[in-house]
């Protein structure tokens, strides 16, 4: 990666693991000043040491679902007269399940972190951004096409998509770039957790698609940021799904139903 971010200030929510951590590694390698934000202090300390971050304070213990917890982050940067060149909202959670059997608190949990966590970070830290700064919101391929077993997660990521679409138009007037990322299944601790709860049909559907490494996803995200792309879709397979969903229009649901029917049939006849 080119040193196009050398000397820039980058803050990444959810930066202690997964895609957020992979992004922190790549930004650090490019010469950027990187701060990571998450809830778990032990993970933050371990990740900060692994990254070799160079600031005296290089991480923030913050629950993104709580707007007031961003006050310390804002105070830290403001008191040092620092602005943010890049703000990446990567904090997120997921737990699949069939709607009929999911508890309501799971819907609130995912919406609070995935959607409101994104809104809270931008609302609190917007004073630190200036002309030519960039905001990157991590959504999901589940916000391109509804996925069986992801009624809660998909809704939270669709909310991020709708919010980001409107935000892009508003902040463009201030010269602030906005990007949204639709990553596919990515090899992260979150995916390992996710796999524990997938319904059988969801497992069958996901077995037909590939899994990207977090580093590869991070590479494509940074490539998109460098070029001020609004929509960033890592992976060829994901790009094809996005293209098909746009080209097929309403007919894409016939394709989804056909795939689910095939998954159900395989559950009944596993040898086929």
**Contact indicator for 104, 193 with CB cutoff of 8 Å:** no
236-248 and 252-268 are packed helices; what angle lies between their axes, rounded to 10 degrees?
120
Question: Catalytic: which of 28, 90, 153, 179?
Answer: 153
φ and ψ at 159, to 5 degrees? -65, -40
153 included as an active-site residue = yes
Q: Which stretches within 179-251 are classed as H helix?
A: 189-195, 200-206, 214-226, 236-248
Specify whether the CB–CB gap between 10 and 27 falls below 8 A: yes
| Residue 216 is among the residues annotated as catalytic for this protein | no
Asked about 157 being catalytic, the answer comes back as yes
Among 85, 107, 87, which residue's Cα sits nearest to residue 96? 107
In this structure, are residues 47 and 20 in contact, taking their beta carbons and an 8 Å threshold?
no
Give the pair of three-digit tokens for residue 185.
């299944």
From 139, 156, 206, 238, active-site residue: 139
Instruction: Out of 59, 115, 157, 238, pick the active-site residue.
Output: 157
Look at residues 123, 197, 113, 195 and name the one whose alpha carbon lies nearest to residue 155.
113
The catalytic residues are: 139, 153, 157
């Amino acid at each position: 990666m080119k040193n196009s971010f050398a000397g820039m200030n980058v803050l990444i929510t959810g930066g202690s693991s997964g895609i957020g951590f992979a992004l922190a590694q790549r930004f650090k390698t490019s010469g950027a000043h990187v701060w990571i934000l998450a809830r778990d202090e032990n993970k933050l300390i371990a990740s900060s040491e692994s990254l070799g971050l160079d600031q005296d304070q290089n991480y923030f213990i913050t629950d993104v679902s709580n707007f007031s917890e961003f006050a310390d982050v804002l105070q830290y940067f403001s008191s040092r007269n620092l602005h943010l060149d890049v703000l990446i909202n990567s904090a997120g959670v997921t737990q699949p399940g069939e709607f009929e059997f999911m508890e309501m608190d799971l819907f609130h949990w995912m919406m609070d972190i995935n959607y409101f966590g994104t809104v809270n970070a931008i609302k609190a830290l917007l004073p630190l951004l200036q002309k030519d700064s960039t905001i990157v919101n991590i959504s999901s391929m589940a916000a391109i096409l509804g996925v069986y077993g992801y009624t809660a997660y998909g809704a939270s990521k669709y909310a991020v998509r709708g919010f980001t679409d409107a935000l892009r138009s508003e902040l463009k007037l201030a010269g602030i770039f906005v990007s949204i990322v639709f990553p596919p299944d990515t090899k992260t601790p979150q995916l390992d957790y996710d796999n524990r709860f997938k319904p059988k049909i969801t497992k069958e559907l996901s077995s037909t698609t590939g899994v990207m490494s977090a580093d590869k996803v991070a590479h494509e995200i940074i490539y998109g940021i460098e070029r001020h792309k609004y929509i960033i879709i890592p992976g060829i397979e994901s790009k094809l799904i996005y293209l098909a969903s746009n080209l097929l229009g309403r007919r894409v649901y016939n394709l989804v139903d056909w795939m689910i029917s095939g998954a159900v049939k395989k559950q009944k006849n596993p040898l086929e």
